Every structure is written in structure tokens, then in C-alpha cells.
Structure 1
């Protein structure tokens, strides 16, 4: 029997954890598969081990793992595979299929542009967009954000699109915001490239509020999961042909 295990990042923020749970509950209600469980990589219960065990206890023999992660950084490349490898050693008869993170998709960039326009209204050439990523030492993440910035520039029709990070990469949030505000002739629109709210989004919001109090024109777009496209992508992955294929990473006995 097939099961689906959704894996979110986890956060100390109750608001962020509740957002992730609500998101997964909405997906579960639209997916006709009896065994579905949510889990978190860290900081929030239930953790991956517990979510996996719940699937097994409910009769699962094949578990499709769907990570709710935007890009393929360390958690996707190391932490999740290590945990699943350990679980497979404990449950060798369970076949595990692992989906990819969301990645850089045209429809996700379309959705991000819709969120920007929905909050900022009509954009002017003097407006600037600052994309704020979680940050990673993985060079692929910088390459991904270069693609994201280019895609947003094209979709929004503005030239000034910058990227900064909350950790592990440069420029950091404060420096990136200083730079973009220094020469801004219009509004600075801040796009957190984060799926859900949490302590990181709160850090962005505090910095935005600080700059607004200094007389700067800023808008914070908020987390990406406000757009329905993410729910649609997860539902598509949960309901696609689940037999092992080249599109899945497979752990089996």
C-alpha cells in the first residue's frame, strides 16, 4: 500500500509551523490516498522518523517522500537522504520514492511575479526588487538565484533586481538592503524567497519596518505559499504515476 510523507523544514515559530500544517492539510484533503503524514526536518514535531513510522504502522509498503523545499541545498542533498537511509536500514522491506524539491520553474516565477503585482500594484521603472533567500554555501544556490532574478526582471519589466541572503552567503540582508536603498529612486519591493513564515521571515519584516521608520519606501511581499501554485504542484506530484521511474530517487531492498 502506498503512503505519502510530506517533509517541511520546521521552525520555532508557531505561526510558521501552523502555516505548514495547514498547507499540507489542504493538500491531503484533495489527494485520494488513505495514508498521508506530515513531518518536519527539524525544530517541529513530528520529525521525519516519527512521520515515517506512522506510515509504516498504518500499513504502508511504498512511501513517496515529498519535500516541501524550494531549492536543492544541504537539506535536500544531505540531511533528508541521510535520514531516509537510516530509516531504510530499519525498515528494509519498505520501498521509498523521493521527489525533488520545487526547483526553479517557470510557473513558480510566474506565481512570484503575481504576488509582487498583487501587493505592489503597477510597477515603475524606478522601483527595485530585492529577493531575499535563505542562503547556502552550495554554489548551485547562487546559480539558482541568478536565474530567479533574471526571470523576475523579465516578468516584472523592471531592470533593478537584486538578491541577498539571510545566512551562509553574501550579501547578507542588511548589506543587500543598504545597497539597494542607496540608489533607489522609487519603492524597494522585498520578496522573501521562503515558502512559509517563520523566524527568518520575521527577521526580514523587522528590517523592513526599521527602514520604513527611517523614511524609506519598502513593501514586503510575504511568503510564497500564499500563491495557490505551490499547492497545485504538490498535489500533482502526490497523484502522478507513483511506480518507480527515472524521475524518482528510489531506496528499496
Structure 2
């Protein structure tokens, strides 16, 4: 399989809680845009637990319908909270059952990643000059 075909069959879903204010998703849209600006970027979509669209099951179904076979769900949360421990595993079990041809993986919350922690520490340090 060529690199282009491999990329076409893979996607990242940036998963957020969602909010009533649509501006809340601005940072997630910026993360998506930053990813897509990189050479060889995979397909990147947003999905939400509640309040905003698309919800995660719909986002995964849409990707699967276009032939995507590898989906990495990346929670854009600061920590592994109750939603990530209870709600998300149930949603992923349902999605895996509905789309058995897809390999759906789950990353840890973005805020738990060492590189993200280091970036936030650097930002906080820079706030005092």
C-alpha cells in the first residue's frame, strides 16, 4: 500500500467534551488546522461528547463510510477524568461493534502527555517573564 493510500485509510478524531458556546471549540479547530498544515497529515476530524456536533459515534460512522480503516481517538482533555474513564470506553465499544472493519484506538488525554505538560510548563513560566 502506498503512503498516500495508507494516509487515506487513517484518521485522527480530536475528541472534546463540548460546550453550549461554539467558540469553546476554537482551540480544537486550531489544533486540527495545525495538524492538517503538516506534510503527510492524516485526515483529522473533531467530535464531542455533548452539546456540540458531531458526536463521536457520528464522526466515526462518517469516517468509516468513506473507507477509513484506522481511527485514533485523541481526547483533548487535561486529565483522564470520569468522562474518559466511563463514557468514552462505552462509546468506543459501540463504535467498534458497529464498524468491525475499523481499528479504533484511544490515546490518553492530551494533558497527560509529557510533551503537552512540558509545553504548558514553558508557557506558565513565560508568563512571569
Query: Following the alignment from structure 1 to structure 2, what is the Cα–Cα distance between the partners of residues 38 and 74?
Result: 20
TM-score, length-scaled by structure 1: 0.43
Go from structure 1 to structure 2 and tell me whether the alpha carbon gap of 1:31 and 1:56 turns closer, same or farther (over 3 Å shift).
farther
Query: Following the alignment from structure 2 to structure 1, what is the Cα–Cα distance between the partners of residues 24 and 57?
Result: 21
Task: Say yes or no: does 1:37 pair with 2:54.
Answer: no
Which consecutive residues of structure 2, in runs of 5 or more, have no partner in the other structure? 1-8
RCO higher in 1 or 2 (8 Å CA, sep ≥ 6)?
2
Task: Say yes or no: does 1:101 pair with 2:105.
Answer: no
Task: Say yes or no: does 1:71 pair with 2:79.
Answer: yes
TM-score, length-scaled by structure 2: 0.78
Go from structure 1 to structure 2 and tell me whether the alpha carbon gap of 1:80 and 1:120 turns closer, same or farther (over 3 Å shift).
same
> Paired residue for 1:46?
54
SS at 1:37's partner residue? Answer: strand
RMSD: 2.1
Query: Following the alignment from structure 1 to structure 2, what is the Cα–Cα distance between the partners of residues 36 and 16?
Result: 18
Query: Following the alignment from structure 2 to structure 1, what is the Cα–Cα distance between the partners of residues 98 and 59?
Result: 14
SS at 1:45's partner residue? Answer: coil
1:120 corresponds, among 98, 121, 128, to 128
Q: Look at both structures and tell me which one has the larger radius of gyration over its CA atoms.
A: 1
Verify the 8 A CA contact 1:35 1:58 in the aligned structure 2.
no
Which consecutive residues of structure 1, in runs of 5 or more, have no partner in the other structure? 122-253
Moved over 6 A (4+): none
Task: Say yes or no: does 1:90 pair with 2:65.
Answer: no
Query: Following the alignment from structure 2 to structure 1, what is the Cα–Cα distance between the partners of residues 21 and 56?
Result: 18
Equivalenced residue count is 120
Within a 5 Å distance, the mapping from 1:47-62 to structure 2 comes to 47-62=55-70
Query: Following the alignment from structure 1 to structure 2, what is the Cα–Cα distance between the partners of residues 6 and 31?
Result: 19
